[in-house]
């Protein structure tokens, strides 16, 4: 298969995924017209299409970006395992999804799928996929966490069995970790980079499975959680915990670094941040919710275990998810 036919296969897959995610989110918001339609050009070649909703009734921010760009110098953040490729000409395609619901009981979610081709000065062209998805609840529900990981495992099974799910779940747990806070960003999911599962065709199908898995799983969780009633205390706790999300994206996220280092469109890159977040000095607006979240959900654990058994202290009576 030629290089041009590879990225021509990926391009319509990623564009279609963007359209389906926007359609799903628009159903929850009640209007697709609220999504801004923003097409842009990349200074070195190619461009992208950003669909962004700000200030919605149910979705406070939702950003769904497609990009297909070429450049003369691959940023070091693009590949963790092939540092020798930094500075080589490249082509990159990707879709990035970030959703910050207004309801504190509906979790924030993130998904990314990407494909890169690199032409080093010596040797043949190199190509690989990357991506994954993760979930960041503020008020956790056991049902949602188990379902999220069951769906993630199901996406992996045809391509590498349970071992592939375990490998990419572990990678996700390690990647989405705030070292300065000593806690994960959320309850994880899948994360993979520099990925080739034998052939291009097999990996292409795996990435497609991951994309559609995210779409189905998050749609179901939003359907369950968006109708729940909430008030000022839950809102204050949501904004407090969103601060952790901002910290990860600005301090650790390689996608953010890649976008900024490659001269990408800053508006699109930073649309992953929530529109509102709070930092309070040495205090928390809901200590009970914070304790429950940290003890029951922000722990690396086996969400597929029978009956949802997990490490940590027993659930706090009266908290959501019990």
**49 pairs with which residues across the strands?**
39, 66
Length of the chain: 322
Active-site residue flag, 110: yes
Cβ contacts of 215 within 8 Å, gap of 6 or more:
17, 20, 21, 24
Cβ contacts of 284 within 8 Å, gap of 6 or more:
237, 240, 290
The answer to whether 113 touches 193, Cβ cutoff 8 Å, is: no
Which value, in Å, is the radius of gyration of the alpha carbons in the chain? 19
8-state DSSP, 316: P
The answer to whether 281 touches 295, Cβ cutoff 8 Å, is: no
Q: Which two tokens stand for residue 47?
A: 């461009």
8-state DSSP, 305: S
Sign of CA dihedral 303, 307, 309, 313: positive
33-41: long-range contacts, CB 8 A cutoff, minimum separation 24:
35/62, 38/268, 40/265, 40/268
3-state secondary structure of 5: helix
- Rounded distance, CA 118 to CA 127, Å? 6
**41 pairs with which residues across the strands?**
47
Distances (CA, A) of 29 to 50, 101, 169: 18, 10, 30
* Residue labelled with tokens 């189905």: 216
- Rounded distance, CA 60 to CA 56, Å? 5
- Rounded distance, CA 77 to CA 269, Å? 14
Q: Which of 28, 100, 110, 149 is catalytic?
A: 110
Catalytic positions, written as ranges: 110
């Amino acid at each position: 298969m030629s290089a041009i036919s590879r990225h021509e296969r990926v391009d319509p897959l990623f564009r279609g995924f963007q359209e389906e995610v926007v359609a799903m989110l628009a159903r929850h918001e009640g209007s697709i017209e609220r999504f801004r339609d923003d097409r842009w050009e990349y200074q070195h070649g190619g461009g992208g299409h950003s669909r962004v909703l700000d200030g919605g009734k149910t979705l406070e921010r939702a950003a769904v970006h497609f990009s297909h760009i070429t450049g003369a110098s691959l940023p070091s953040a693009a590949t963790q395992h092939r540092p020798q490729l930094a500075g080589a000409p490249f082509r990159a395609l990707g879709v990035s999804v970030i959703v910050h619901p207004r309801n504190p009981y509906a979790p924030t979610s993130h998904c990314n799928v990407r494909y890169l081709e690199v032409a080093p000065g010596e040797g043949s062209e190199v190509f690989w996929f990357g991506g994954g998805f993760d979930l960041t609840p503020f008020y956790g529900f056991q049902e949602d966490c188990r379902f999220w990981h069951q769906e993630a495992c199901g996406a992996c099974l045809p391509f590498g069995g349970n071992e592939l799910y375990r490998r990419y779940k572990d990678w996700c747990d390690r990647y989405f970790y705030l070292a300065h806070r000593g806690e994960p960003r959320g309850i994880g999911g899948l994360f993979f980079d520099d990925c080739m599962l034998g052939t291009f065709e097999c990996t292409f199908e795996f990435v497609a499975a991951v994309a559609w898995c995210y779409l189905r799983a998050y749609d179901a969780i939003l359907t369950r959680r968006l109708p729940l009633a909430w008030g000022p205390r839950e809102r204050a706790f949501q904004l407090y915990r969103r601060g952790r999300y901002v910290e990860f994206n600005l301090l650790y996220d390689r996608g953010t670094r890649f976008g900024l280092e490659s001269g990408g469109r800053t508006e699109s890159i930073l649309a992953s941040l929530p529109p509102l977040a709070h930092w309070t000095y040495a205090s928390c607006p809901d200590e009970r919710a914070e304790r429950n979240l940290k003890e029951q959900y922000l722990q690396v654990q086996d969400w597929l275990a029978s009956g949802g058994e997990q490490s940590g202290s027993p659930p706090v009576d009266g908290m959501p998810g019990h």
